[in-house]
Amino acid sequence: MQRIFTVCATALLSLSLAGAALAAPTHLTVKIASLNNSGEHGSATLVQSKAGVLVTVHLLGNKAAQPTHIHAGTCGNINAAPEWPLHNTVNGISKTLVSGVTISQMLASHYAINIHKSLMDLKDYVACGNIKG
Ligand SMILES: [Cu+2]
């Protein structure tokens, strides 16, 4: 009886480990909301590959180059220092491969995609989106 229980428990553990591996997200969409009445908003897609996470930001209302980063924290409580730099958003698009990280790792903590008004006005935020599952 004891032996049967042990075998079943091992099988269950294996199943749940396999489930966790399958559940690792390969795609994620992040909603990006306007900040400070900028009128700029949109979304970002995160796609996992072996090389890292391909982050593509689509921002309506953006024209000139705007610094874009992933910061630790949330849009309401963000760490001012960028965690991962992304390419500037220009003509509504920023596309960057963030290497050496997984979507799961990003989701395990709080991170946000943050867009700044300009290089001269880095402290002015125009749009932000929380990376969450
Ligand atoms: Cu930033």
Span from the CA of 59 to the centroid of ligand 1 (angstroms): 15
List the helix and strand counts (H, then E) for the chain. Answer: 2, 8
C-alpha 89, offset from chain centre: 16
Average of per-residue pLDDT across 111-129: 97
8 C-alpha to ligand 1 centroid (Å): 50
CATH of domain 25-131: 2.60.40
Distance 10 CA to ligand 1 centre (A): 46
User: Quick check: 75 pLDDT over 90?
Assistant: yes
Q: 77 C-alpha vs ligand 1 centroid, how far in Å?
A: 13
Give the per-residue pLDDT at 10: 46
What is the average per-residue pLDDT within 18-22?
A: 52
What's the CA-to-centroid distance between 101 and ligand 1, angstroms? 18
Residue 88 is predicted with a pLDDT of 98
